[in-house]
Amino acid sequence: MDKKIILTAVFISVIILIFSYILVSSAGKKEEKKSLNSLIPSKDKIVFYYGNTCPHCAEVEEWMKKEKIEEKIKIEKKEVYQNQANAQELTLVAQSCGLDPNAIGVPFLYANGRCYIGTPEVERILKEKTNNK
C-alpha cells in the first residue's frame, strides 16, 4: 500500500513538473516573439535597407538625390552589410512580410508595413509616396 502511495505521489509530481515546464517555456517564447517584434519598424515609417558596396543600392540613392525624395518624405536609411543589428532587423522585417530571409536582397524598402525589393519596386513606391509620377 505504501508503494502505491509513493508511486502515485511521484507520478503526480512528474506530471506537475512537466506541466510547469510547458507553461514557463511557452511564456518565454511569447516574450521572445514580443521582443523581436519590437525590432520591426512601425508601419508608418519608411526604411531603406542598403549595402555599402551594392551597385543597385547606389543607383537608388543617386536617383533619390536627383529626385529630391528625402526633401519630400522622411526615409530612414540602414546599411546592412557592415551593421549586423540592421541586418538582423532586415531579416525580421522580411519575415514579417512573409518573405524567406535567405531569398531577399538589397535595395529593400519597408513602407506601410509592406516590403519591396529591387530598384524598380523601390523607385516605384517612392514615386507614389512623393507624387512624382
Strands 108-111 and 114-117: antiparallel
* pLDDT (0 to 100) of residue 132: 64
DSSP 54: -
pLDDT along the chain (133 residues), means of 10: 76 79 65 59 94 97 96 96 95 94 94 96 95 67
Single-letter residue type at 95: Q
Angstrom distance (rounded) from CA 122 to CA 30 = 33
Helix, strand counts (H, E) of the chain: 5, 4
Cis ω for the linkage preceding 107 (within 30 of 0) = yes
Q: Which residue type sits at 80?
A: V
CA 59 – CA 84 distance, rounded (Å):
23
Secondary structure class of 71 (helix, strand, coil): helix
Alpha carbons 88 and 77: distance in angstroms, whole number: 15
